[in-house]
Amino acid sequence: MYFARAGADRRSRNIPNSIGKLFKLAGLHETFGKGDLVALKTHFGEPGNTTFIRPQFLDRIASDISKRGGKPFLTDSNTLYIGHRSNAVDHLIAATRHGFTFPVVNAPIVIADGLKGRDEIEVEVNLRHFKKVSIGAAAFHADSIIGVAHFKGHMMTGFGGAIKNIGMGFGSRRGKLDMHHDIKPEVDAESCKSCGTCVKSCPSGAIVIKRRATIDSDACIGCGECSLVCPNEAIDPGKGESKEVLQEKIVEYCCGVLRSKRKRSGFMNFIMDVTPHCDCPAWSDRAIVPDIGILASRDIVAIDQASADLVNAARGTEGTRLKGNLGSGEDKFRHLHKVDWGIQLSYAEEIGLGKRKYRLIEM
C-alpha cells in the first residue's frame, strides 16, 4: 500500500508527480498491456458539487497509461435518481462542464451502461444475495480497470471508497435497483416541515405531502435521494439491517466487475476534501478532516481499510457536520452516519476480494 501525504514543497512532490510515482510503485502499470482498453472508473460529480476528483489528476493517470501503450477511457454508469447524470447525454454534458474534456484529460469518456443505463452484461457470482449481477457493458468489455475514487463519507455505507466506486458505480440501472431494493426510508413526522423538497427529488413519485411527507414504500426504489436533500434531516434513509445488506450487495457487484480482472485491476483513493456525503448531491459540504493524501494499491479491500484508518487517525475539523468523535483515533464515519462500515470490508475479505491487513509505505 503506497501513500503520498497531501501537501508539497517542491515540484517533484506536486500532486501530478506523486500520482505518477504511486501508479508505478503500486504496480498499476502492470495491470494492462499494449493496445488494451483501460477503464478509468471515476465520478464526474453532480453539477453544483465541487469535490469530485479533479480532471488534472486523472490526466496524469491517463497520460501514463497512454505512454505505456494502453488506451485509457474515463467511465462511470448512469444514476438512478433525478439529477444530471441519469442518462448518457446529461452525464456527458455534466462531465464536460466539470472539465473532463480532451484538452484537459488525455482520454475520451464512455458511459459504461449506455444511453439509458440499459447496456448491461449479467455476470454470474453465486453469492449470498445475488446469483448474477448486472453491470455496465463497458466495465465487462474493458481489458483492465483502474478505480480512481474520491474517499469521503456516505450516508448508507459510512464511507464511499474503492469498493463503492466499482460495485455500485458500475451497476447498470437494473443493478442499482437490485442493490437498493431493501432500502426503505422513513420520515420523522416531528422533524418534517412539509417543505416538499423531497417530493421534487423523488425519481419514482413515491412521496406525497399529507400534512407531513409520506412515502409509499411499494413505489420507493430505495435511491436515498430524499434523505440527502431534506433540509431538516427528517428522513432516515434505511432502518434495521438495510444498510448492512446494501454494503454486502455492493461487495457482490464489485466481485462481479472484477471477476475476470483480478490481475488486471488497481486502485487509487484520493483522501482529500473528505466531505460528509458523496459527490452525488448538487453541493459540497465542509471537509470533516484536513486533506490527508493519496493511496495506491492492487488490493481493493486494503485500500479502503487504510483510507478509513487514515481518516479516523486524523483530528476532526471543528465547525463541520461532524459534531462528535473529533479526536484522533475516533471513528468519524460511524459517528456521522450511524453505520458499521466495516461490514463491507469483512464481507469483501470473506469472499476473497482482498485483505484488510496492509503495510503502509509512505513515499
Q: Which residues contact 168 (CB under 8 A, 6 or more apart)?
A: 176, 179, 250, 253
Distant-in-sequence, close-in-space partners of 336: CB < 8 Å, separation ≥ 6: 153, 158, 276, 288, 321, 322
> What is the smallest separation between the CB atom of 142 and ligand SF4, expressed in angstroms?
30
Please list, in sequence order, all residues whose beta carbon lies within 8 angstroms of the beta carbon of residue 42, skipping any fewer than 6 positions away. 52, 53, 58, 74, 75, 76, 148, 149, 165
Q: Choose between 95 and 168: whose C-beta lies nearer to ligand SF4.
A: 168
Q: What is the DSSP letter of 183?
A: -
Q: Least separation, in Å, of the C-beta of 227 and ligand SF4?
A: 7
CB of 218: closest distance to ligand SF4 in angstroms?
Answer: 10
By beta-carbon proximity to ligand SF4, the closer residue of 109 and 230 is 230
State in angstroms the smallest separation of the CB of 81 from ligand SF4: 6
In the complex with ligand SF4, which residue's Cβ is closer, 14 or 191?
Answer: 191
**CB nearer ligand SF4, residue 96 or residue 197:** 197
The 8-class DSSP code of residue 135 comes to E
State in angstroms the smallest separation of the CB of 279 from ligand SF4.
Answer: 18
Q: Take residue 348 and report the three cell numbers written for it.
A: 469483501
DSSP for residue 54: P
Quick check: helix, strand or coil at residue 30? helix
DSSP H or E run through 309? helix 300-313
- Smaller CB distance to ligand SF4: residue 72 or 185? 185
- Chain position carrying cell 485509457: 72
Report the amino acid identity of residue 77: S
Spatial separation of the C-alpha atoms in residues 87 and 119, rounded to whole Å: 11
User: In whole angstroms, what is the distance from residue 311 CA to residue 161 CA?
Assistant: 12
Smallest separation, CB 9 to ligand SF4 (Å): 46
The residues that touch ligand SF4, with contacts defined as CB under 6 A, are 185, 187, 192-198, 201-204, 206-207, 213, 215, 220-226, 230, 232, 234-235
DSSP of 56-113: HHHHHHHHHHHHTT-EEEEEEPPPSSSSS-SSHHHHHHHHHHTT-STTTSSS-EEETT
CB of 311 to ligand SF4, least distance (A): 27
Closer CB to ligand SF4, residue 192 or residue 254?
A: 192
Comparison of 74 and 80: residue with beta carbon closer to ligand SF4: 80
